[in-house]
Amino acid sequence: MTPAGLIALIALAGLFLGALGGWLVSRRIARAHPPDGEFLEIDGTRLHYRRNGDPAHPAILVLHGAASNLEEPYLALGEAFAGEHVIWLDRPGLGWSGRPKSRRWSPADEAALIVKFLDRLDIREAVVIGHSWGGAIAMRLAMDHPGRVTGLVLVAPALSAWIGEAAWFNAASGWPLVGPLLTRVIIPLAGQGQLESGARKAFHPEPVPEDYVARSRLPLILRPGNWIANARDMMQVNPHLEMQEERYQDIALPTVFLAGKADTVVWTHRHSGQVAARMAHAELRLISGAGHNLHHHHPGAVLEAAIAVRERAQC
């Protein structure tokens, strides 16, 4: 065998071992964080959710942010909202929910699928709580399906376009050859440390709760399917927000923005501040010293906001 052939063989063996290692890690993540909610299949797409409280009571729908799953807000808010009727949804493509693969995905598509999901649960309308990118989806629900939303609680939402370019690895996840290597080998094998550092950034300047990454099941994002779905969302953040941000002032629903000036992930003045000022029935509540994941340290503020918009909607 020639030296070049030997090098090629070693490279192929390394790729095989790396792919095998990535597959084993993905399986271990799935076993460590199994779905413990219920599933609904809608138009061929399985959605995973958890439902708490009395279905006869007014509903609250909680939408988590990017790279996350329903367990993240549930960890923060589950105890505070124990007396409420709450639906915690793995947003399509994330957690244990699937996502349609036949067409390009957008916030409008996601909102339409969520409405069908609510139909299947026989929920006519709900207060919608959205954190970060989940806030953008909540706004899309309010714009496209206003009759299904009682009010909005937007927690450190990402709402305004041109917030910066998507990270290179989001684009690379879709490249030929490089994409499979990244999503099936590098991300599963090397991503755990990035979850820890990302959590510190999301909570800054507040502390990260003990064992947060594992308890919120964030490692699920390291699985190839979840990673690719999230990467595609993040690749199109600016175009998606540019298409919808001019419509925010048309939303007439009672809305409460919860944000902290210390948020280093989403600048409060650029998102919550500017958008709340343009909405006739919106209120901005700034929480001193809060970071991007403020719902973990201030769950009572989120509950108070949800009750406030519900009561205002009934007036």
pLDDT tens column, 257-285: 999 999 999 999 999 999 999 999 999 99
Tell me which of 41 and 21 has the higher pLDDT: 41
Residues 6+ apart with CB under 8 A from 125: 59, 147, 148, 149, 150
Q: Which amino acid, residue 59?
A: A
Per-residue model confidence (pLDDT) at position 183 = 78
The pTM of the whole model exceeds 0.85: yes
Instruction: From residue 9, give the alpha-carbon distance in Å to each of 14, 37, 68, 178, 184.
Output: 9, 45, 38, 19, 20
- pLDDT (tens digit per residue) in 122-168: 999 999 999 999 999 999 999 999 999 999 999 999 999 976 666 66
Report the C-alpha gap between 132 and 154 in whole angstroms. Answer: 8
Report the C-alpha gap between 256 and 261 in whole angstroms. Answer: 16
- pLDDT (tens digit per residue) in 93-132: 999 999 998 668 999 999 999 999 999 999 999 999 999 9
What percentage of residues in the chain have a pLDDT greater than 90? 78
- pLDDT (tens digit per residue) in 192-249: 889 999 999 999 999 999 999 999 999 999 999 999 999 999 989 999 999 999 999 9
Tell me which of 177 and 31 has the higher pLDDT: 31
262: three-class secondary structure by DSSP: coil
What is the mean pLDDT of the segment spanning 71-79?
Answer: 98
Q: How many CA atoms, within 13 angstroms, populate the side-chain half-sphere of residue 263?
A: 25
Closest of 273, 254, 276 to residue 263, by C-alpha = 273
pLDDT band, very low/low/confident/very high, at 175 (cuts 50, 70, 90): low
Domains for the chain: give ranges and CATH numbers.
12-18+21-314 (3.40.50.1820)
